[in-house]
Amino acid sequence: MDAGTWRTAPTFITLANSNGAWTQFTLNFNAHGLYTDYTITFANLVALSSDIFIDSIRLIEAHVRGPLPAVEAFGVLEAGQIRFSKNNTPTTTIGQLLEIGQNYLFENFDDIRKFKAIRTGATSGLLTVEYRR
């Protein structure tokens, strides 16, 4: 820390001086845990040439923050009886019926996200679900 700003040693690469060679490169740096904005400077530090040509730049986050979303799930109804739907709001008489001991495969993230259920009787349903990421 210097005057309230984060500083690190410069990270740079040296490219060969060429009159038409295209070079692709990757430059990695460690982000600071408290900052989300960074300045990236492209500069020519050699007096042999005054030109810098850049075709495209991509910044890619190396690590995903937080858990990965579930891509599939498997559920078993442990108690009660339920009706469920992925498209509509189920009622005690409308929706696909699931009995104790039956299972249901959530085939993708949308199946998981859109799943809605309601108990059909006095006993609450208990659906045990395992997720695959």
- Residue 105: the pLDDT is 92
DSSP class of 100: T
In a domain, 98, yes or no: yes
In a domain, 49, yes or no: no
CA 78 to CA 101: how far, in whole Å?
Answer: 6
Model confidence over 18-43: pLDDT tens digits? 666 667 777 776 666 676 777 777 77
In a domain, 26, yes or no: no
Considering the chain, what is the average pLDDT of its residues?
78
Q: How many domains does the chain have?
A: 1
Handedness of CA 103, 108, 109, 115 (dihedral sign): negative
**What pTM did the predictor assign?**
0.49
In a domain, 64, yes or no: no
Handedness of CA 96, 101, 107, 111 (dihedral sign): positive
Which of 115, 128, 126, 125 minimizes the C-alpha distance to 92? 125
Model confidence over 63-98: pLDDT tens digits? 656 677 788 999 999 999 999 998 889 999 999 999
- Residue 17: the pLDDT is 63
pLDDT band at 16 (very low <50, low <70, confident <90, very high): low
CA 75 to CA 10: how far, in whole Å?
Answer: 51
Segment holding 114, helix H or strand E: helix 109-114
CB contact set of 12 (below 8 Å; sequence gap of 6+): 27
